Amino acid sequence: GAVVSQHPSWVICKSGTSVKIECRSLDFQATTMFWYRQFPKQSLMLMATSNEGSKATYEQGVEKDKFLINHASLTLSTLTVTSAHPEDSSFYICSAKRDVTSEQYFGPGTRLTVT
């Protein structure tokens, strides 16, 4: 149990376009979902935290108008990278919590390359 999926697993897009990444909890309802970004040879950096039905809380330095997060249901959160630029190329990872006391379950990640 506690499986989190992401779609797509990798995507290549042109500069200036928008890309949507989906994160789903497959066998549990997630009260909270998190979005991380990881650049090569670096650790994961938390971008934002979202609870179902409410606005996401963004970490300092993360542009909320550029990285749109929608947590419309207890099993789905989406991250949209708007007007993507090459510097947005990264590994994006989501995670989900079953409840406030549970550990985080991570998705497999989405590799975004902006050309």
Partner 1 sequence: DAKTTQPTSMDCAEGRAANLPCNHSTISGNEYVYWYRQIHSQGPQYIIHGLKNNETNEMASLIITEDRKSSTLILPHATLRDTAVYYCIVTSSGGYQKVTFGIGTKLQVIP
What single DSSP character describes residue 79? E
Q: Which residue lies nearer to partner 1 by CB, 49 or 89?
A: 49
Interaction between residue 54 and partner 1 (CB under 8 A): no
**Binds partner 1 (CB under 8 A): choice among 21, 67, 107, 114:** 107
Both tokens of 47, joined, read: 């971008």
What residues numbered 58-87 form the site for partner 1, per CB under 8 A?
Answer: none
Write down the least CB distance from residue 101 to partner 1, Å: 5
Asked whether 85 and 15 are in contact (CB, 8 A), the reply is yes
Q: Which residue lies nearer to partner 1 by CB, 5 or 15?
A: 5
Measured in whole angstroms, the distance separating CA 103 from the mean position of its chain's CA atoms is 17
**Binds partner 1 (CB under 8 A): choice among 11, 44, 74, 76:** 44
Distances from the Cα of 72 to the Cα of 22, 56, 81, angstroms: 11, 11, 17
Tell me the number of residues near partner 1 by CB under 8 A: 25
Both tokens of 12, joined, read: 């290549």
In the complex, the residues that contact partner 1 under the rule CB under 8 A are 4, 6, 32, 34, 36, 43-46, 49, 57, 91, 93, 95, 97, 100-101, 103-109, 111
